[in-house]
Structure 1
Amino acid sequence: MNLRGCAAQILSRVIGDGQSLTAALDSQLPKLKDHQDRAFAQAICYGVIRHYFALDCLLGHLLDKALKAKDGDIKALLLVGLYQLQYMRVKPHAAVSETVAATKHKPWSKGLVNAVLRRYLRDSETLAAQCATDRQAELNHPRWLIEQIETNWPEQYRHILAANDLPPPMALRVNLRQNSREDYLRMLNQQGMAAQVVAHCPTALILDEAMNVDQLPGFAEGRVSVQDVAAQLAAGLLDAQAGDRVLDICAAPGGKTAAILERQPGLQSLLAVDIDAGRLQRVTDNLHRLQLHAETLAADAANPQDWAAGQLFDRILLDAPCSGFGVIRRHPDIKLLRRESDIAALRALQAQILGACWDLLAPGGTLLYATCSILKQENEQQIAAFLNRHADARELVISADWGQPRPHGRQILTGDRRMDGFYYAKLGKAV
C-alpha cells in the first residue's frame, strides 16, 4: 500500500467528512502491518492537520481553480505532498514521486499533483511571502479562533497559538501505590530512557522522548500511566479523604478516576459517570490494568434524577465538556472540526451539568470544576455566574505555583511549564 495514499484517505475523512483524526486513524492504520509504516503514515496525518491552515493557503495559491468536493482525496494528497516538502526531512524527489504514485485510482490527477508539487519547489519563497499576508495562514488557526483567543488573552495569544502547533511532551503519572517516583525514574534510566521530574506535581515525570507505552517498564502491571501534568493536578486538588464518597462526572477515559484512587485507597466509594458507554469501557480497562476498582455508570450527568437515586457525595470532580482549546496540540483536528457556534452550546451544557452536580454534593462537600479549555467564557465566567446563582456555594482558593490566579479559579495556558491548557475552580458547599 502506498503510504502517502493511505494518509490521504485518512485525511480526507477528517477534512471532508468531519471525522475525528483519532477515529480516522483507527479505521485505516490497522491495514498497515509494519510498525514503521504505521508510524510514518500517522506522522504525516498529524503533521498535515497540525499545519493545515498554512498548507491550505499554499495550495490555494498553487491551484488555478479549487478542486471539486468529490476530489477531496486529491486535495488531501496534495497537502500530504506539501507537508513533506515543507516540514519533513524527506528528499524532494522521493516526496514528489511517491505522492504522484498514489494517484493511480484517479489517473487524471497524476499530472496535476506532479505539476503542483514541482511548482512549489520552484516558487516556495514567493508562495511563503504571499501566505505571510494572510493572518489565518500566518497563525495557522481559523480566523474566528484566533479572534477568540486574542480577545481572551491579548498579551499571550501568539504564544498560545504557537504552542498549539508544537507536538506535546509525553508525561507520565507514576502509581505511588506501587512504586515511588524516584524508583520509577531509576527503572527508566536503567533501560536507557531519560525523564525529568516535575517539581509542582508529585506524581509526574516528563520523558525526553515519546515512545510506545509498551516500552515503558511496568506499564502492563500498572506501575505508570500516560497523563498530561495539568490533568494530574486534579487528584491533589480534589483532596478526597478516607471514607469519602466520590463522584467523577464525565470520567472517560479514566485517567483522573485512577489518579484519585491511587492517591486515596481508603475511599468509601467512587462512582465514575460518562454519557458514552463505549468510552466508559476505557475507564474499566484502565482501572483493571492499574488493579483499581470503581463503580462505572453510563448516564447523562445533566439529568441525575434518572440515576442518582438520592445519593449525596462528599467530593465531586466535574471534568466538564468543553471546547478542548487547551489540548489542540494533542488533538489538532479541533482547529478544523470545532465551530464558533459550539461555544454558546457548550457553556449552556456546562451550566446545566454544574447545577445538577451541585444538588448531589453533600453539605460541607467540595466540587472541583475542571476544563481543558483556555476560554474565560467556559471557565472563570462560568464559575462567576454559578456563584451568583447559588448562595450556598463559596469558592475555595487554589494556592499554587503553577498557572495563574483568575477572579475565579486558576488558569493554565497551553505550554505553561510544558502543560496542556487547563482550568480548575474549587467550590465548597455550606453546611
Structure 2
Amino acid sequence: MKIRATAAKVIFQVVEQGQSLSSALPVAQQLIAAKDRALLQEICYGTLRWLNRLEFIADQLLDRQLKGKHRSLHYLILAGLYQLFYTRIPPHAVLAETVNASGLLNGDSFRKLINGVLRNAQRQQEELLQAADKNEPTRFSYPRWLLKKIKQSCQYGYVSVLQAGNEYPPMWLRVNLSKQSRDEYQRQLAAVEIQSTPHASCESALLLEKACDVSKLPGFADGACSVQDAAAQHAAWLLDPQPNELILDACAAPGGKTAHILERQPALKQLVAVDSDANRLSRVAENLQRIQLEATLINGDASHPEQWWQGPQFDRILLDAPCSATGVIRRHPDIKWLRRPEDIAELAHLQHDILNAMWQQLKPGGTLLYATCSILSDENSSQIKSFLERTADAIHVPLNEKDTALQPGWQIHPGEQHMDGFFYAKLTKQVTV
C-alpha cells in the first residue's frame, strides 16, 4: 500500500514539479522498507517510461481528470495501469493495493472510482492497447515534439531508436586493464556465477547477462572494474592518451571517462578534470579514489577557461558536452517529460560556446574529442559541421566510413550492440608553419 502511494508522489514530483527521478526516488526510498525499494523503483521507472500511453488509456476510462489536491491520485491510477499491463504482479493484488493506497493520499472518497477504472482497464485491455497503438506518441510513449525531433535526426531507423528507449537498460562493466586482462576478469566473474559477454570492438567492455549489485563484483572496491556503458567507454579509446601528455577532461562529472583515461594511460604528465557542478565534481574524486589514481580537479565553467586555467595549452581535450541526454532515455525515462523544445536550441548554443572556448586551449597538432549522449543532429553532426566551417585550423578526423565531411561524427543509436545512444567527433588542430 505504502509503495504505491509513494510511487504516485514521486511520479507527481517528476511530471508536475520538474524534479529528476534520480533526485526524487532516493529520498522516497528511505521512507519505505529496504525489501520494497526495488518494487518502488520498478513502478516509478515503468510508469514514466510508458507515461504517454498510460495517460491515453486513463483518459478513455475517466470522465474527467483528477486535478488540484487530488492530482497525486491521477498518478496512482497510472501506476496501477502500469502494473496491470506491464508487470507480472497478480491483478487482484494490483487492484487491492492501489485502491488501499488512495487512503494515504487523502483519497478515501475516490476508492470506488479507482477500483472501477482498474477493473475496466483489466476487462478492456486489448482494445485499449490497440487504440493507443494508432498514434506514434501513445504507441511509443514520447512527447510529440521529441518524437518529431528523433524522426528528423534518425530518419529511417527512428522506430528502433524509439523502441530502444523503452527497453530495460543492460549493465556494462569497464574492466580496469591496468590491473588485469578482460579475459582474466571474465573468468573471475564466472567463478562467482556472473555470466558476461565481451564487446566486439571495445576492448574494456563486458556485458552482464543479468544486472547485479556492485558488491558482488570481484575486486570492485579496489578498482578492478567500474559500471559504465560500452558507448561511453569508447571515449578513452578514441582520445588515445599518450605518455607525458597534458590532457583536459572538460565537463568531467561524474568521472567515469576521467578514470578510464587514467586507466588507459597512467603515465600522463597531468590530467585536469573540470566541471561546473561542485557536488558532481565530488563524485569524480570518489571514483578516482576507488581506482587509486589522481587527477587535478577544478570547479569551473568550460565556456570560460580563462577563469580557471593559466597553464599551457593541452595535448588532448575530451569535451563531453552538456546535452539533452536523449541517448540514455532507457536509463532515465524522466528525460522524455523534463525536456522542453526550447532546451535543444539552448543546449546547442552552449555547446557552440564551449567548443569555441576549448579549441583555444588546444595546442597546434593536438586532438579534441567531442562527445554527447544525445541522438539529435542539432547537438551532434550539425554542431560539428558548423564548427568545421567557421574554424580554419580544425581538421576533421573520420572515425569510420559513415563519418563524412557532409555528416561528420560517429552516431551510436540506442540499442546498437546493446549500447546507449552516443555521439563522437574527432578533430585535430592544424600546425601552422
TM-score by length of 2: 0.96
Give 1:152 shift. Answer: 1.6
Alpha carbon RMSD of aligned pairs, Å? 1.2
Q: Distance in 1 between matches of 2:344 and 2:397?
A: 26
SS at match of 2:327: coil
| Letter paired with 1:77 | L
Counterpart of 1:31 in structure 2 is 31
Query: Is 1:249–1:317's contact at 8 Å kept on the other side of the alignment?
Result: yes
Deviation by residue 1:258-284 (Cα, 9 ceiling, x = unmatched): 000000010000111001000010000
SS at match of 1:154: helix
Deviation by residue 1:38-85 (Cα, 9 ceiling, x = unmatched): 111111111111111111111111110011143221111111100110
Q: Which range is displaced more, 23-32 or 163-172?
A: 23-32
Deviation by residue 1:212-245 (Cα, 9 ceiling, x = unmatched): 1111111111100000001000001001100000
| Letter paired with 2:7 | A
Counterpart of 2:296 in structure 1 is 295
Counterpart of 1:182 in structure 2 is 183
Counterpart of 2:65 in structure 1 is 66
Counterpart of 1:405 in structure 2 is 403
SS at match of 2:55: helix
Give 1:128 shift. Answer: 2.0
SS at match of 1:18: coil
**Aligned 1:107-146 pairs, distance under 5 A:** 107-146=108-147
Deviation by residue 1:379-407 (Cα, 9 ceiling, x = unmatched): 1111111111111111112148xxx4342
Gaps of 5+ in 2: none
Query: Is 1:44–1:80's contact at 8 Å kept on the other side of the alignment?
Result: yes
Counterpart of 1:307 in structure 2 is 308
Counterpart of 1:42 in structure 2 is 41
Q: Distance in 1 between matches of 2:270 and 2:215?
A: 31
**Aligned 1:194-209 pairs, distance under 5 A:** 194-209=195-210
Counterpart of 1:226 in structure 2 is 227
Residue correspondences, number: 427
SS at match of 2:238: helix
Deviation by residue 1:342-363 (Cα, 9 ceiling, x = unmatched): 1110110000000000000011
Give 1:310 shift. Answer: 4.3
**Aligned 1:8-407 pairs, distance under 5 A:** 8-34=8-34, 36-105=35-104, 106=106, 107-399=108-400, 404-406=402-404, 407=407
SS at match of 1:322: coil
Query: Is 1:373–1:422's contact at 8 Å kept on the other side of the alignment?
Result: yes
SS at match of 1:102: helix
* 1:3 equivalenced with 2:3 (yes/no): yes
| Letter paired with 1:103 | S
Give 1:312 shift. Answer: 1.2
Give 1:138 shift. Answer: 1.0
% same residue? 49
Query: Is 2:273–2:296's contact at 8 Å kept on the other side of the alignment?
Result: yes
Deviation by residue 1:120-158 (Cα, 9 ceiling, x = unmatched): 112222222322223310121111111111112221010
| Letter paired with 2:76 | L
Q: Distance in 1 between matches of 2:112 and 2:400?
A: 62
| Letter paired with 1:220 | A
| Letter paired with 2:28 | Q
| Letter paired with 1:83 | Y
Q: Distance in 2 between matches of 1:282 and 1:409?
A: 29
Counterpart of 2:424 in structure 1 is 424
Counterpart of 2:414 in structure 1 is 414
Q: Which range is displaced more, 406-415 or 51-60?
A: 406-415
| Letter paired with 2:361 | L
Query: Is 1:320–1:371's contact at 8 Å kept on the other side of the alignment?
Result: yes
Query: Is 1:250–1:275's contact at 8 Å kept on the other side of the alignment?
Result: yes
Q: Distance in 1 between matches of 2:325 and 2:380?
A: 12
Q: Distance in 2 between matches of 1:392 and 1:129?
A: 55
Query: Is 1:254–1:283's contact at 8 Å kept on the other side of the alignment?
Result: yes
Query: Is 2:9–2:72's contact at 8 Å kept on the other side of the alignment?
Result: yes
Query: Is 1:16–1:72's contact at 8 Å kept on the other side of the alignment?
Result: no
Q: Distance in 2 between matches of 1:288 and 1:311?
A: 27
SS at match of 1:265: coil
